[in-house]
A and B are shown apart, each in its own frame.
Chain A
Amino acid sequence: MQATENKKRTSNQPPVKRLIWPSAIYLIIMTQIPFLITIYYSFQDWNLMRPDQGVVFTGLANFKNILTSSSFYQVFGNTVLLTTAVLVICFLLGFAFALLMNRNFFGKGIVRTIFITPFFVMPTVSAIVWKTLMYNPNFGMSSYFAHVFGKAPIDWLSAHPLLSIILIVSWMWTPFFMLILLAGLQSLPAELIEAAQLDGANKMGQFIHVTIPHLFRYIEVVLLLGLMFILQVFGEIYVTTAGGPGYASTNLSFLVYRIGFQNWDIGEASAVGVLTVILTIIMMLFMFRLLRRMFREEQS
């Protein structure tokens, strides 16, 4: 290991280091600078529909407006509920299915392929499929099953908007959880299982004392990455409920869109954007701590 380290050092020719700069500069221009401008805008009173009022510095007024409005807390609650519920559903289903897949059976490759397909479908189309095929109160599956069970069909999207979206997003992300947990199960060394069997552990004991500890880092990775993506759900909401009724199915990302591109209130939309980023950064710090630990394992 030490030897490789030294060799890496010897071939450290200066021109190669510059290879990082183009990407870094590009990312700064595309992401960091816009975010700094968002912070700046969040202190301005600026509505594109009222050009006569111009752009006026208002200090923390935008934040005060947001944090004193009840709709913001509803949206915040929706974001937390949507993200948590999807993570729990995806984890449980994904884990169960990874266990089923972690056996040898005929057609395993094809089953895996068709199972991950929902993950590749664009969110707008997923939303359309569910909105028509599943949730349509006249012709959808939900009404069909309602008839079968002798109940009156309901309009899922207006009766349970957030739940409907949770189901769509869970459908799309369960394959992601399954894939990564399956990779974890398959990387379990056979010796570990054998050793546990020699110790006289039964199936359940093996699962709790060998499989779960081994899977731990995979579980962490899948939960944190899933969290980062699911926090940003947008297209599914846009197509199915447009965030309504009222704010019943709006999350933070969609709130920025509503304030920014429907009310054209640049200042307030930016302020919500800043709050969204703060929430995300807190989550991201957890993720980095985890990844750093993995780095150290990789290098040792």
Chain B
Amino acid sequence: MKKITSGGLTLLTYVIAILFFFPILWIFITGFKTESEAINIPPSLFFKPSLENFQIVWEAGIGGFFANSVFVTLASTVIALLLGVPAAYALALLKVKHKDDILFWIISTRFLPIAGIIIPLYLLFKNVNLLDSLLALILLYAGMNIPLIIWMMRSFFNDVSFEIIEATQVDGASGLQAFFQVVLLLVRPGLVSTALLSMVFAWNEFFFAVSLSYTNAATLPVYMASYMTQEGLFWAKMSAAASISILPVIILGWFTQRQLVRGLTMGAVKG
């Protein structure tokens, strides 16, 4: 009896997981169908997969937006890491006055609604001719990810035993040398997950992107939103474009899984 209940619960788990995944799976499948197959009801399960939609979408220029997304995501993450990781190190391992207050102030900037700052930012970038530029988005996404990086990395640095750092200093290494040669190596898995998670956030960001970019600097979320308005009737092509937009970040997300709980709770909870 117990075995049957347990098997039933496992089956239920599978079914719910598949239901949750279904819309994404459907997007991936529909991208390989023809337009008429895409809107068949009931849905056609057997069809000849074709890469035609991907080819059409690529020729229509999704590549440029893809490149924008990649560049903005990488550049903003690098800036955020360069600024955030040293700050996290200082806040975790060194005695800093008002440490808690600084940490809370930092996280409060992450949760400040974009709605509360978008108007001046728009006017500012307009005045310095940076509207519709990748630089504007890079600067803002770096700012958006610094708090995440500080909080997450702080929690990884906290796990480093202080004796190890102490030992490097006895060997005559300076504080910064110790940081690069020992500490950074120890937190490398955490550092990688932190970087990947900030990439996920940058890749998917939409409010800044849609307010500050139009054609040159538009990233994939903006492109997809305009695709929906203009060609929302072409489901197969839209699915192909959507697949291209979400696949990279889904893969990144899968790689961050192990540290995801810690990352998403800003290090408050260890998963």
Contact = CB atoms under 8 A, between A and B. Distances in A.
Interface of A: 4, 7-9, 11-13, 15-17, 19-20, 22-24, 26-27, 29-35, 37-38, 41, 97, 100-101, 103, 105-107, 111-134, 138-139, 143-144, 147, 171, 174-176, 179-180, 183-184, 187, 217-218, 221-222, 225, 228, 231-232, 234-235, 238-239, 252-253, 255-257, 260-261, 266, 269-270, 272-274, 276-277, 280, 284, 287-288, 291-292, 294-295, 298
Given A11-B175, A253-B115, A273-B119, A116 B257 contact: yes
A83 B61 CA distance: 37
Main secondary structure of the interface of A (DSSP, over half): helix
Contacts of A8: 93-95, 162
B133 interface: no
B236 to A, nearest CB: 11
Interface of B: 6, 9-10, 12-14, 16-18, 20-21, 23-24, 26-27, 39, 41-42, 83-84, 86-87, 89-91, 93-96, 100, 102, 104, 106-109, 111-124, 139-140, 142-143, 146-147, 150, 158, 162, 165-166, 169, 175-176, 200, 203-204, 206-207, 210-211, 220-222, 224-225, 227-228, 232, 235, 238, 242, 245-246, 249-250, 252-254, 257, 260-261, 264-266, 268-271
B118 A120 contact: no
> Which 9 A-B residue pairings sit nearest by Cβ, starting from the closest?
A30-B143, A120-B253, A37-B120, A277-B116, A34-B117, A235-B206, A19-B86, A256-B115, A183-B271
Contacts, number: 302
A27 B94 contact: no
Contacts of A112: 257
Contacts of B260: 116, 179
B261 A183 contact: yes
Contacts of B175: 11, 13, 15-16
Contacts of B245: 122, 125
Q: Which of A118, A171, A187, A231 has the most CB of B within 10 A?
A: A118
Contacts of B17: 111, 114-115
Contacts of A252: 113, 115
B249 A284 contact: no
A122 B121 contact: no
B263 to A, nearest CB: 10
A11 B169 contact: yes
Given A121-B250, A294-B268, A35 B87 contact: no
B24 A122 contact: no
A238 B228 CA distance: 11
Contacts of B270: 183, 187
Contact of B269 (A147, A218, A287): A218
B143 A129 contact: no
B265 A221 contact: yes
